[in-house]
Structure 1
Amino acid sequence: MSLTSTAQRAPSSARFVTLGRRLRGPVAMGALCITPMLLWALAQPLSTRWTDPSVTLTNIAVLLALAGTSSFALNLVLGARLRVVERFFGGLDRMYGVHKMNGRVTFCLLLGHAVLITASRAVVSGASAAALFTGKAGWVVSFGVLALGFMTVAIVFTLYGRLNHEWFIYVQRSFGFIFLLAGLHVFMTSGTKASSPALTYYLAALSLAGLAAFAYRSLLGDVFIPRLRYNVLQVTELGDHSVREITMVPDGRRLSFTPGQFVFVTFGSSAMSKEFHALTLKPAGESEVMTFRPGAVANQYHPFSITSASSEPELRIAVKAVGDYTSALHWLEGGAEARIEGPYGAFSHLRIPNRRQVWLAGGIGITPFLSMARSLDAPGYLIDLYYGIEHDDQGYFLDELFAIGDRYTGLRVIPWRRDEQGFITADAVGRISGPIEEPDFLICGPPAMIDNLTRQLRAAGVTDSRIHFEKFGFA
C-alpha cells in the first residue's frame, strides 16, 4: 500500500506545550507544598528563628514537617483516582508516577524532620533526645513517632516487598490511618500555627482534603464511586492459553470510552470463590509466602485495557495470566457479575491531530491498539502497527488485525518476532516506515521496551510531543 505522508506538522511550540502539560501536575504540587513554608516565614521575624543551634535545628525541622505534611495529604488525593485530577496530570500513568515519587519525597521530608528534631534536643542533652522515643515527651510526640514508624514499615513493604495486588492495596490503604496519626501530631503541637491563622487554616484544608479523598476511595468507594454493572457473556482463551478475552454485556447503562483507554474491574464469580481460600501459605522458594486469594477478598479492582471498539454494544477486555487474580480468571464463568470503574487513560490515536502514526506494541501491550484498530472508520489515517511477539503462539489477535488491515487500507500490520529479528528499534522502524520525522509514535509494552524506544526515537530527532506512551503500575 502507499505510504505517502499526510502528516500535519505540529508548530515548534508544540513540544513546550506538551512539556507544560506533563509538568503542570508536579509544579502545582510543589507550589502547594511550598505555600505553608512561606506562611511560616511570614508569621514571625526571621531573625528570631536562628538564635542558637537548638532553635535553628528545630525551625528547619518544622519547615520539613510543613512540606512533608502537605505532600502527604496531596498523595492521598492522588491515590483517590479522581477523574479531574487524572486529566490535570495528563493520564493515570503519569499521575501514579508522580504519586510514587512524591511518596518517597514525603518520607524523606518527615524522616528529616524527625532526625533534626532529635538533633535539636541532643544539643541540649542526650536525655532530652531520648525522651522523644521513650514516651516521656508526651502523647503528642508519640503520635508523630508512631506515624513515622508505621510509615517506614509501609514504605519498605511497598518498595522492597514482593507483594501481590491484594497485599499492595491493603498496604496503600494503611497510609490514610498513618496520616491521621501524623495529623494529630501536627495539630496538637504548639508553635507558629498559634500566631498564624492562615497557616493553620491552610494545613487544615489540605489535611481534610487528603482525609476526604482517602475516605472516598478506600472506605466509602462502594457508596460514592460511580461503577457500572456488566455480566460476563463469554471467556475466550487465545494463543498459548495464557491470555483470555472476556466479553461482557451491560446490565443497565453502557460504558462510554475512547479507544485505547482502560478500566478497573472486579468479578463476582462463584466458581473463582470455590477454587480459592481467603488465606494460603506457600512453600519456600515460591514468589509469595502468604497471599489473599481472589474471589475470597471483595472489592479488589484490577486494571485491564479495553479491546472492544467504542461502537460495540459489548465491552471486551484482554487479560494475561501473570499473577494470582489474572490466573484465577481461568475459572471465570459466563453469567458472572462484573463491576466496571472508568474509563481511565489518555492514550489514544484519536487525541493526536497527526494521522500519520506508528504504533509499537510488545506482547500484551497490543490490547489498547486492538481497540483502536477495531474502531478505525475515519478516512485519512496512515498507520503502521508493529507487533512484537516472542513466537507465533503469542501473536494474539494477529489474524483479526490482518483482516482489519484488509478492510481499512490505511492500517499496515507488521509482526515482529523477537526470536528471529531481535528487539524492535527506531532504526528498523525508519527503514520500513520511511522518514522518522513525519509520524507520531504510540508505544505500549513492557517498561523496558517503552524506555528503550523512547530513548532511541529522541536520539533520532523525534520530539517529545510526537512520542506517546502509557506506563501503568501501582508501585
Structure 2
Amino acid sequence: MLPPVRYLGPLSVGALAVAFAGLWIVAGPPDGGWASFAGQLAGAEAVLCMSLAMVLISLLPAVETWFDGIDRAAIWHRRLSVAGLVLLAPHTLFSSGHHAPPPPGAPMSHHGGGSDVGGLLAQVGVWGLLALSAWAIAPRWRTMLPGGGPYLAQAVDRLAEVPAVQRVQAACRWIFGGYERWRALHRLTGLFLAAAFVHGLLDGTVFGSAVLRGAYIAAGGIGLAFYVYREVVARHLTALHDYQVAAVITVGEGLTEIALAPLGRPIAFTPGQFAMLFLETGAGWRRHPFTISSAPHEQLLRFTVKALGDDTTRMQTLVQPGMPAIVGGPHGRFDRARGTDRQLWIAGGIGITPFLSWLRALDQQTAPGQVDLFYSTQGGAPFANEITAIARAHPTISVHLHDTATSGYLTADAVLTAIDDDPRRLSVFLCGPRAMVDSFVRRFRQAGVRSRNIHREHFDWR
C-alpha cells in the first residue's frame, strides 16, 4: 500500500539525500583520505539540504502538490535548513585546512589564492546562515524545546525580569526590528548559499572526480536557480487580487475579523484554504498568511486574526476601513472533502478559522455525512451563536463547546467517549496549538484512527 500523499514529499527528499551520499561513498576519495572525504561529504550534503530548502519556498504549484500543501513545504524548508546547518559542523571539523592539488586541466585559481577566497566565502556563508537561522528560531524557541523545556522556559522568564536583561532585549528589538525586517533580510539566504557553494568549488578536496564535481554542481545549481526564480520571476507569475478593507471588527479578546471588499476579480478558493494578505497600514505595507474564514459565495472576504505578534497585536489600530489590500493565493490542502462520511472537526482557540469557512459554506456545499465539531476555548467561545445557529439549520452537524476554564483541557479520550463510534470509521480534522494537536494525533492513532484519515492545518509555520 502506498503511503499517504502527505508523506511522499518528505520520503522523496530523504531518498534523494541518501542517494546523494551513496554516490559519494561509491566514488570514494581519490587519495584515500576518508576523514577529509567525510568532511567534504557533510559539506556537500549541507549544500543539498539548503538547495532543497530553496526549492520548497519557490511558490511553484508543483511544490505545493508534491508536499500536499505549502504549509507542509514551509515546515520541511525549515527542517532542511536546520539539517544543513548541523552538517556544517562535521564539515568544518574534518575538512578544514585540507586542500588537494587541482585536477588535470583545472585553472590555477582552483587552489592557492583560490583557497583564500574559498575560506572567506565559507565564513560569509556559514555566519550569514547561522545569523538568519538564529533570528528565525528566536520567536518560536519555546516550541522547539525538548521534554524538560517548560522548566527552561520558566527560568528564562525569570531571567527576563532582571532590568539589565530587559535593556538588552529592548536593544535587540530596536536593532533587529519586527517581522518585516526579518523577512526582508531572510531573502539573503540564497546569497549566503551561493557563497558556501562557490567555497566548495574552490576548496573541495575530492573534485578530482568528475562524477562528484558534477553531482555537487547539480545540487547547488538547482537551489540557486530556484532562488533566482523566487526573487526575480515568481512575483510576476503569482495571481494577486485587489481588495479594500470594508470593516475591522473585534470578535473576542485578542481576536479581530478583517472584512475585505473586492475591487476586481475576487479570489476563488476552497473552504479551509489560506491566502497571503498584503495590507497597507498606518505603518506601511504588511504581509501575512491568514486562513480564510468566509465562504466562497460571500461578497466579502473575511480573515479572523489573533494577536500573536507585533503586527497582529496592533491590527485593530493599524488597519482601518478604506485601506487597500492585496490577496495572493489561495494555498493549502485542508479540505473536508478528503475525509470519510463520519468526521470529527476539532478546533482550539483561533484554530476555529478554517472550520468557520466550512460551516459558512454549508448552504452551498453540504456536509459529507455526520460531523461532530469540538471547539475548545478559554472562556466564552467567539462565534458561538453563529456556529450553533448553523448547526441547527444542518442536522448532520453536532457542536460541542468546551470551556477549559471550567472543564479543563479537552482530550482525545473525552472526544471519543462523547461520540461513541468506531475509530476506524473516523476522519479527524484538527486545527489549534501544536501541543494540543500533537497530543490528539498520538491518542487517535492509539485508538485506531487510520493515519491517512488524520488531517491537520499547520498554521504555526507562519
TM-score, scaled to structure 1: 0.79
Q: Give, in whole Å, the separation in 1 of the partners of 2:461 and 2:397.
A: 33
* Candidates 64, 82, 99, aligned match of 1:104: 82
Structure 1 residues 209 and 224: CA distance shift in structure 2, 3 A: farther
Structure 1 residues 225 and 209: CA distance shift in structure 2, 3 A: farther
Structure 1 residues 370 and 379: CA distance shift in structure 2, 3 A: closer
Deviations 1:171-201 (A, max 9, x none): 53231111111122123346544541x5444
Which residue in the other structure is 2:329 paired with? 342
Deviation (angstroms), 1:301: 2.1
Q: Give, in whole Å, the separation in 1 of the partners of 2:29 and 2:114.
A: 31
Structure 1 residues 249 and 200: CA distance shift in structure 2, 3 A: farther
Q: Does 1:172 align with 2:186?
A: yes
Which residue in the other structure is 2:296 paired with? 310
1:448-459 to 2 correspondences below 5 Å: 448-459=435-446
1:113-262 to 2 correspondences below 5 Å: 113-118=91-96, 137-160=115-138, 164-189=178-203, 191-193=205-207, 195-196=209-210, 198-218=211-231, 222-240=235-253, 242-262=254-274
Letter in 2 for 1:302: H
Letter in 2 for 1:344: H
Deviation (angstroms), 1:116: 0.5
Q: Does the CA-based 8 Å contact 1:238-1:245 persist in structure 2?
A: yes
Q: Does the CA-based 8 Å contact 1:390-1:419 persist in structure 2?
A: yes
Deviations 1:193-244 (A, max 9, x none): 4541x5444443443332233234345554343322111122222133x212
- Gapped regions of structure 2 (runs ≥ 5): 100-112, 141-175
Q: Give, in whole Å, the separation in 2 of the partners of 1:426 and 1:474.
A: 24
SS at match of 2:239: coil
Letter in 1 for 2:256: R
Q: Does the CA-based 8 Å contact 1:57-1:119 persist in structure 2?
A: no
1:25-104 to 2 correspondences below 5 Å: 25-41=9-25, 46=28, 48-50=30-32, 55-104=33-82
1:314-325 to 2 correspondences below 5 Å: 314-325=300-311
SS at match of 1:101: helix
Q: Does the CA-based 8 Å contact 2:345-2:374 persist in structure 1?
A: yes
Letter in 2 for 1:30: G
Q: Give, in whole Å, the separation in 1 of the partners of 2:265 and 2:306.
A: 27
SS at match of 1:387: strand
Deviation (angstroms), 1:41: 4.8
Q: Give, in whole Å, the separation in 2 of the partners of 1:148 and 1:348.
A: 40
Query: Which protein, 1 or 2, shows the higher relative CO under an 8 Å CA cutoff with sep ≥ 6?
Result: 1
Equivalent pairs counted in the alignment come to 409
* Candidates 369, 386, 391, aligned match of 2:379: 391
Structure 1 residues 207 and 250: CA distance shift in structure 2, 3 A: farther
Q: Does the CA-based 8 Å contact 1:34-1:67 persist in structure 2?
A: no
Structure 1 residues 41 and 449: CA distance shift in structure 2, 3 A: closer
Q: Does the CA-based 8 Å contact 1:260-1:305 persist in structure 2?
A: yes
Deviation (angstroms), 1:253: 1.9
Q: Give, in whole Å, the separation in 1 of the partners of 2:239 and 2:197.
A: 29
Q: Does the CA-based 8 Å contact 2:98-2:205 persist in structure 1?
A: no
Q: Does the CA-based 8 Å contact 1:441-1:466 persist in structure 2?
A: yes
In terms of mean alpha carbon deviation, does 246-255 or 162-171 score higher? 162-171
Q: Does 1:22 align with 2:17?
A: no
* Candidates 426, 436, 442, aligned match of 2:412: 426
TM-score, scaled to structure 2: 0.81
Identity across the alignment (%): 30
Which residue in the other structure is 2:388 paired with? 402
Which residue in the other structure is 1:378 paired with? 366
Structure 1 residues 384 and 156: CA distance shift in structure 2, 3 A: same
SS at match of 1:301: strand
- Gapped regions of structure 1 (runs ≥ 5): 1-12, 122-134, 274-294
Letter in 1 for 2:16: L
Q: Does the CA-based 8 Å contact 2:37-2:206 persist in structure 1?
A: no
Deviation (angstroms), 1:141: 2.4
Deviation (angstroms), 1:379: 5.7
SS at match of 1:67: helix
Letter in 2 for 1:147: G
Q: Does the CA-based 8 Å contact 1:230-1:339 persist in structure 2?
A: yes
Q: Does the CA-based 8 Å contact 2:241-2:326 persist in structure 1?
A: yes
Deviations 1:422-449 (A, max 9, x none): 1111221122212141321111111111
Q: Give, in whole Å, the separation in 1 of the partners of 2:249 and 2:228.
A: 37
Structure 1 residues 205 and 341: CA distance shift in structure 2, 3 A: farther
SS at match of 1:17: coil
Structure 1 residues 349 and 219: CA distance shift in structure 2, 3 A: same
Which residue in the other structure is 2:431 paired with? 444
Deviations 1:17-62 (A, max 9, x none): 32xx23321222233334444444565xx48542xxxx22221122
Divergent runs of 4+, >6 A? none
Q: Give, in whole Å, the separation in 1 of the partners of 2:30 and 2:201.
A: 22
Instruction: Name the Cα RMSD after superposition.
Output: 2.5
Which residue in the other structure is 1:280 paired with? none
Q: Does 1:369 align with 2:355?
A: yes
Letter in 2 for 1:229: D
SS at match of 2:410: coil
Which residue in the other structure is 1:3 paired with? none
